[in-house]
A and B are shown apart, each in its own frame.
Chain A
Amino acid sequence: MRTVLLFAAVAGLILGTGFLQSWNSALLILNMGLISAVMALGVNLQWGLAGLFNVGVMGFVALGGLAVVLISMPPVGTAWQAGGGSILLGLVLGAATIVAAVLVWSRTSGKLRGWGTAAVLLIGLVVYRMVLDPAVESVEAVDPALTGYLGGLGLPVLLAWPVGGLLAAGAAYVIGKTALGLRSDYLAIATLGIAEIVIAILKNEDWLARGVKNVIGLPRPVPYEVDLQNDPAFVERAAGFRMDATTASTIYVKIEYGLLFAAVLILLLVLAQLALNSPWGRMMRAIRDNETAARAMGKDVTARHLQVFILGSAICGVAGAMMTTLDGQLTPGSYQPLRYTFLIWVMVIVGGSGNNLGAVLGGFLIWFLWVQVEPMGQLLMSVITAGMADGSWLKAHLMDSVQHMRLLTMGVILLLVLRLNPRGLLPER
């Protein structure tokens, strides 16, 4: 009952945006809300079901975004000729170095062990750089204003969504294997670090996804507005709704996106709910509530944690791919931890840790607030500064600060919910 009411309230908020502001902004909030809900679902799986503290959501989201570029953009033939092969070779060599180092470390002992491993790493690094560097240089020299990177595979963009999930899952496997295997967990710092590294790679490896030059004009799974506006049949139907073709086309596109996202969200939500109530879900909760007992019963806690960490991260990757598809561009410079990691946490905590529906609700609600706090703040500030003289220093400063109100508000909301309703809006049970 509470669930229905709260979801209705959030729907009301979004509808209200439609009536009061514009249907375009309402749909934009809805679409990003859907994506946020998917991210929150992923984090909730990790935190709610297994108590894993992932503060690297941003990294997995960005990997999803990378997948969109790698899958959907057409390959840049000249760049591949210039050095594609060498780059692949370089990467293989790099991976081989690490494998070799691990082998040397595990197969030898004594003095040889340390020095041998170091030597393998050093030689490997030199060779890797010798192969990779010139190739990277020549690839990045290929028409740098437009391409300067290898491009993607030119496959349908929707394929990038599961691939984004896979990419994130792969990263999660490596992190989880290291950070969860240690004597005690160090997952938080590991994820915090890896997220920054992913962003650093995206920003700097221009051959991969053009770095800070951004990849724009990503293929879309839905029609382009311009094409719709030039389609007489569409214009006619729009006129039937008494709308001009431009508005109708933007709304139509957003609705199609929304339907796609909603399909993914519903699919994942159903799967998550099924998993939660399956024997697997019961085992995860048993581990969470009493790890010692679960261990005594022969459960491999570390493996289960790794499993759930990979699953949750994969979901974040899917969401990241969806978001980049919606944006139509990959802009590594725009990934910031406050927005892509900690905001998702606010969604999960506010929604209700451990409750999938709660996470979804939190995703919608917090995203709505994130977007709408600014206009609300604007309103508030104009009331506060109404008495001040125009052009006064303080007034200008206060009006300027409105854009930062949302951070403050998110903090206040998180603290209020934690204090007054620590189980969240929709408690686990």
Chain B
Amino acid sequence: MDFLNGLVALANFVLIPAIAYGSQLALGALGVTLIYGILRFSNFAHGDTMAVGTMFAVLTTWGLQAMGVSLGPFPTALLAIPFGILGATALVLLTDRYVYKFYRAQKAKPVILVIVSMGVMFIYNGLTRIIIGPDDYRFADGERFVISARTFRDMTGLEEGLALRTTQVITVVTAVVVVAALFWFLNKTRTGKSMRAFSDNEDLALLSGINPERVVLVTWLIVASLATVAGVLYGLDKSFKAFTYFQLLLPIFAAAIVGGLGNPLGAIAGGFVIAFSEVGITYAWKKVLTYFMPPALEPDGLVQILSTEYKFAVSFVILVIVLLFRPTGLFRGKSL
């Protein structure tokens, strides 16, 4: 019984939150890795692109709620995601047309584009704060739990409860669907293959008649969609705040680099590696450990390796360790 209780506690406090968070990071890291693979720079504005997409989705959600539209047990925000994607795509494409395109024509070095993306980051950040404001917004509605801790205890008779929030289930399901669709697109469709070809060898792609501008356009479309989905899922799970999204940049970059920049599989693996280490290292293990250990060995303290405030430190340390031993990341990066 203790063993089962321990497992349930582990699932409840570590596995489920880490899987949900990992999915969100993976979606974010996929966007970063696509830009790195195709446009060949790390996009500092990615966190804020997520914020912009989510902002449009939040505004739409409020509109829908005001009109009395609802999805029943599901959060209304799911209906708003397409609008969020639309908004983010529009902004990103405008940015590409009026900002990035010029530098492509100049054959600018990637590091110049990194600096450009800093400017874009400032603008997106300002826009988000001007339009929706800098505060914390919650926009999740519908049924809060698929299984609440109490129901689970009643059902199983265990001491520990297992709470499964609707948003967590939605996060994982959406992430799986989106990732599957992305991989199908990249590996099976002509456009997807042309993106991989462009990432692998730009000159040869050109000689094969692949239109670079089209590849870039499709990339931005996908990135804006991924960013919005990741942002909305994160916001549903936690809340929406412009500054938090900007700060997500570090774990997302870390995930993309740990996995191997430019490699989509790596981005996903990296997202989960970072999420599991963050949750695992900042979780107080006392509760779980008491179930597994004989009473004599029960720990006194909380068995929390680091306080939750240090979660950024964790992503960073994992990153350094991986880079020290595998400089190209878990999966060999560079091209899609």
Q: Which of A53, A189, A404, A408 contacts B111 (CB 8 A)?
A: A53
The answer to whether A327 has its CB under 8 Å from any CB of chain B is: no
Q: Are B122 and A197 in contact (CB under 8 A)?
A: no
Q: Are B327 and A193 in contact (CB under 8 A)?
A: no
Q: Are B122 and A410 in contact (CB under 8 A)?
A: yes
Q: How far is the CA of A178 from the CA of B319 in the complex (A)?
A: 11
Contact with A along B296-313 (1 / 0, CB 8 A): 000001000101011011
Q: Are B130 and A404 in contact (CB under 8 A)?
A: yes
The answer to whether B126 has its CB under 8 Å from any CB of chain A is: yes
Contact with B along A253-276 (1 / 0, CB 8 A): 000000000000000000000000
Q: How far is the CA of A186 from the CA of B320 in the complex (A)?
A: 9
Which A residues touch B123, using CB under 8 A?
A: 407-408, 411-412, 415
Which A residues touch B112, using CB under 8 A?
A: 418, 422
The answer to whether B93 has its CB under 8 Å from any CB of chain A is: no
How close is B52's CB to chain A, nearest CB, in angstroms? 13
The answer to whether A345 has its CB under 8 Å from any CB of chain B is: yes
The answer to whether B330 has its CB under 8 Å from any CB of chain A is: no
- Known A53-B111, A401-B129, A407-B122; judge A200-B253 contact (CB<8 A): no
Q: Which of B121, B307, B319 contacts A189 (CB 8 A)?
A: B319
Q: How far is the CA of A192 from the CA of B309 in the complex (A)?
A: 16
The answer to whether B8 has its CB under 8 Å from any CB of chain A is: no
Contact with A along B303-336 (1 / 0, CB 8 A): 0010101101101100110011001000000000
Which A residues touch B243, using CB under 8 A?
A: 336
Between A53, A178, A189, A349, the greatest number of chain B beta carbons within 10 A of the residue's beta carbon is seen for A189
* B contact patch SS: helix
Question: Across the two chains, which residue of chain B brings its CB closest to A409?
Answer: B126
- Known A178-B320, A189-B253, A405-B126; judge A200-B119 contact (CB<8 A): no
Q: Are B253 and A419 in contact (CB under 8 A)?
A: no
How close is A370's CB to chain B, nearest CB, in angstroms? 11
Q: Are A414 and B310 in contact (CB under 8 A)?
A: no
Which B residues touch A346, using CB under 8 A?
A: 118-119, 122
The answer to whether B11 has its CB under 8 Å from any CB of chain A is: no
The answer to whether B10 has its CB under 8 Å from any CB of chain A is: no
Q: Are A204 and B310 in contact (CB under 8 A)?
A: yes
Q: Are B316 and A197 in contact (CB under 8 A)?
A: yes
Which A residues touch B122, using CB under 8 A?
A: 338, 342, 346, 407-408, 410-411, 414
Q: Are A400 and B133 in contact (CB under 8 A)?
A: yes
Q: How far is the CA of A234 from the CA of B253 in the complex (A)?
A: 56
The answer to whether B29 has its CB under 8 Å from any CB of chain A is: no
- Known A342-B121, A412-B123, A415-B99; judge A193-B315 contact (CB<8 A): yes
Contact with B along A35-54 (1 / 0, CB 8 A): 00000000000000001010
Q: Are B130 and A401 in contact (CB under 8 A)?
A: yes
The answer to whether B149 has its CB under 8 Å from any CB of chain A is: no
The answer to whether B125 has its CB under 8 Å from any CB of chain A is: yes
The answer to whether A125 has its CB under 8 Å from any CB of chain B is: yes
Q: Are A407 and B125 in contact (CB under 8 A)?
A: yes
Total interface residues in chain B, CB < 8 Å? 46
Q: Which of B118, B129, B301 contacts A414 (CB 8 A)?
A: B118
- Known A184-B327, A415-B99; judge A196-B253 contact (CB<8 A): no
Q: Are B126 and A204 in contact (CB under 8 A)?
A: no
Between B118, B243, B319, the greatest number of chain A beta carbons within 10 A of the residue's beta carbon is seen for B118
Q: How far is the CA of A418 from the CA of B122 in the complex (A)?
A: 14
Q: Are B125 and A338 in contact (CB under 8 A)?
A: yes
Q: Which of A129, A193, A410, A412 contacts B312 (CB 8 A)?
A: A193
Question: Across the two chains, which residue of chain B brings its CB closest to A348?
Answer: B115
Which A residues touch B129, using CB under 8 A?
A: 401, 404, 407
Q: Are A405 and B253 in contact (CB under 8 A)?
A: no
How close is B306's CB to chain A, nearest CB, in angstroms? 9
The answer to whether A133 has its CB under 8 Å from any CB of chain B is: yes
Q: Which of B127, B257, B312 contacts A197 (CB 8 A)?
A: B312
The answer to whether B134 has its CB under 8 Å from any CB of chain A is: yes
The answer to whether B61 has its CB under 8 Å from any CB of chain A is: no
How close is B250's CB to chain A, nearest CB, in angstroms? 6
Q: Are A204 and B309 in contact (CB under 8 A)?
A: yes
Between B42, B111, B130, B309, the greatest number of chain A beta carbons within 10 A of the residue's beta carbon is seen for B130
Which B residues touch A150, using CB under 8 A?
A: none
Q: Are A183 and B327 in contact (CB under 8 A)?
A: yes
Q: Are A192 and B250 in contact (CB under 8 A)?
A: yes
Between B115, B123, B125, the greatest number of chain A beta carbons within 10 A of the residue's beta carbon is seen for B115
The answer to whether B217 has its CB under 8 Å from any CB of chain A is: no
The answer to whether A194 has its CB under 8 Å from any CB of chain B is: yes
Which B residues touch A182, using CB under 8 A?
A: 323-324, 327
Q: Which of B229-278 touch A at CB < 8 Å?
A: 243, 246-247, 249-250, 253-254, 257
- Known A189-B254, A200-B309, A338-B122; judge A404-B134 contact (CB<8 A): yes
Q: How far is the CA of A412 from the CA of B127 in the complex (A)?
A: 12
Which A residues touch B90, using CB under 8 A?
A: none
Contact with B along A407-429 (1 / 0, CB 8 A): 11111101100110010000000
Can you name 8 A-B residue pairings with CB atoms under 8 Å? A183-B327, A196-B250, A196-B312, A342-B121, A400-B133, A407-B125, A407-B126, A411-B124
Given contacts A197-B310, A400-B133, A418-B115, 17 further A-B contacts (CB under 8 A): A129-B301, A178-B320, A188-B42, A190-B316, A192-B253, A193-B319, A196-B247, A337-B246, A404-B134, A406-B126, A407-B123, A407-B129, A414-B119, A414-B122, A415-B120, A418-B112, A422-B112
